[in-house]
Amino acid sequence: MDVLPLRDRADLLDVRLQHRLDTIVPALMEREGIDAWVLIAREYNEDPVVGSMLPATWLSARRRTILLFLRSGPAMQRLTVSRYDIPGLFEAAWDPAVEPDQYARLAELLTAAGPAAVAISVGDTYAVGDGLSHTEHGLLSAALPDELRTRLVSGERLAVGWFETRLPVEVEQLAANCAAAHGFLRRALSREVVTPGETTTDDVAWWLRQTVADAGLESWFHPTVDVQRPGSVAPDSFSTKLDGGVIHAGDLVHIDFGISYLGLMTDQQQHAYVLREGEVGPPAGLVSALATGNRLQDLLMAEFATGRTGNEILAATRKAASAANIDGLIYSHPIGNHGHGAGPAIGLWDQQDGVPGAGDYPVHPATAYSIELMARVEVPEFGGAVSIMLEEDAIFDGEAVRFLDGRQTEFHLI
């Protein structure tokens, strides 16, 4: 993947942002029945939504930034209750020489619009939807007339929709990011990086971090590298520090890894087998275990449907897995602007009966997910249950889920 210079990245991101504001916000406000959406932040304490709506050259909000979306039928106004425009994105709607009080001007604009509901950044489920600070909430409430104050509602679902919805060009970019991340994984899980008996799990993790940085990309979390070893496995157990973390022949090596580029994250987990002398492939038990993990992926992806909640998808997948005699855990999540993105949680590793709140959110079209899960399979050659931990990024188009850059169906061989 060609990594753009910073200036070219900024130009691309600004074009994308304008398209998102032009298309996604009006559709979300119509879907949620909201005619006014107010977003407020101060410099260095940005509401996550505000931060995501500023030009690439704005590395933080300016003083107090107030963004205001007003919808009247098909018409949409994008205003900033500030002295200056945000060029091409938000029109300035405050002249301090006429009205010195910024909040009083916001109240004037809302009163003139007369919305039935005013969405603000408060909510108890998603962090991205709870970005209005205590102080700003108090100032806003004090500035509004009583009739408008009673119309304040949570804008959490608008925030979630804003972050989870992917434009076609973003789907293409996310696929390219996934392909690049797969390339790093192939190298990390090879003799280029791993010398059996010498290389440690920490060595591999730091090689990934450094190589990603050298390529002009970012890691959004520190990679996890662990091994499972014959005679050292048990259900739910794997280790980064067996024998001090040194990787040996006969080990099953697992990596959890993600990168960030152009504001979009990846999150992937893959495995490699370290060949013993004379071996040309992994033991048959491991091959069967990986196939079981792939089957569990298929069962999960088959349960996606527009309007279905994360908890409903989780319950249906667990039922299908039980019928197929698969022992596993489902813990998939949205991905996009954040690694663990806003949207429906489809299980957590320690909450297999449903996730209150985030699991009750429905699936919408044009949303991306990390299909993340674990299949626990008895592997005779390992003397116990091996955990096949898989994660690949996928897009839901409203009818079906597809992987953005394929999935692992064979072990990398070291």
pLDDT tens profile 288-333: 999 999 999 999 999 999 999 999 999 999 999 999 999 999 999 9
State whether residue 323 is helix, strand or coil.
Answer: helix
What is the DSSP code string of 122-170? --SS-GGG----HHHHHHHHHHS-HHHHTTEEE-HHHHHHHHHB--HHH
Strand order in the sheet with 264-265: 218-219, 259-261, 264-265
- Which one, of 373, 370, 379, 378, lies nearest residue 328 by Cα? 373
Confidence check: pLDDT of 71 > 90: yes
Higher-confidence residue of 286 and 231: namely 286
Confidence check: pLDDT of 23 > 70: yes
- Which letter does DSSP use for residue 223 in this model? P
Q: Residue 308's CB: how many other CB atoms inside 10 A?
A: 14
The proportion of the chain whose per-residue pLDDT surpasses 70, expressed as a percent, equals 98
pLDDT at residue 79, as a whole number: 97
**Structural tokens at position 19:** 């398209």
> Any idea which fold 6-162 has?
Creatine Amidinohydrolase; Chain A, domain 1 (3.40.350)
- Contact present, 258 and 177 (Cβ < 8 Å): no
- Which one, of 55, 57, 106, 104, lies nearest residue 80 by Cα? 106
Element (H, E) at 387: strand 384-396
- Contact present, 390 and 408 (Cβ < 8 Å): yes
**Structural tokens at position 83:** 């002295």
Give this prediction's pTM.
Answer: 0.94
Strand partners, 334: 369
State whether residue 42 is helix, strand or coil.
Answer: strand
Confidence check: pLDDT of 235 > 80: no
Element (H, E) at 288: helix 284-301
Element (H, E) at 163: helix 156-164
pLDDT category, 155, cuts 50, 70, 90? Answer: very high
Specify the CATH architecture of the domain 166-413.
Answer: Alpha-Beta Complex (3.90)
Strand partners, 376: 387
Mean pLDDT of 131-148: 95
Q: Residue 114's CB: how many other CB atoms inside 10 A?
A: 12
User: CATH 3.40.350.10 in the chain, residues?
Assistant: 6-162
pLDDT tens digits along 76-99 = 999 999 888 998 899 999 999 999
**Structural tokens at position 110:** 């809302």
- Contact present, 397 and 404 (Cβ < 8 Å): no
Radius of gyration over every alpha carbon of the chain, rounded to an integer in angstroms? 24
pLDDT at residue 84, as a whole number: 86
Looking up tokens 């429906």, which residue turns up? 344
Mean pLDDT in the chain?
95
Q: Where are the beta strands (DSSP E) in 140-278?
A: 152-154, 218-219, 224-228, 252-257, 259-261, 264-265, 268-273
Mean pLDDT of 202-226: 97
Burial (0-12, 13-18, 19+ Cβ within 10 Å), 230: middle
User: CATH 3.90.230.10 in the chain, residues?
Assistant: 166-413
**SS3 per-residue string spanning 179-218:** HHHHHHHHHHCCCCCCCCCCCEHHHHHHHHHHHHHHCCCE
**Structural tokens at position 5:** 């210079």
Burial (0-12, 13-18, 19+ Cβ within 10 Å), 291: middle
- Contact present, 398 and 366 (Cβ < 8 Å): yes
- Which one, of 345, 331, 332, 348, lies nearest residue 126 by Cα? 345
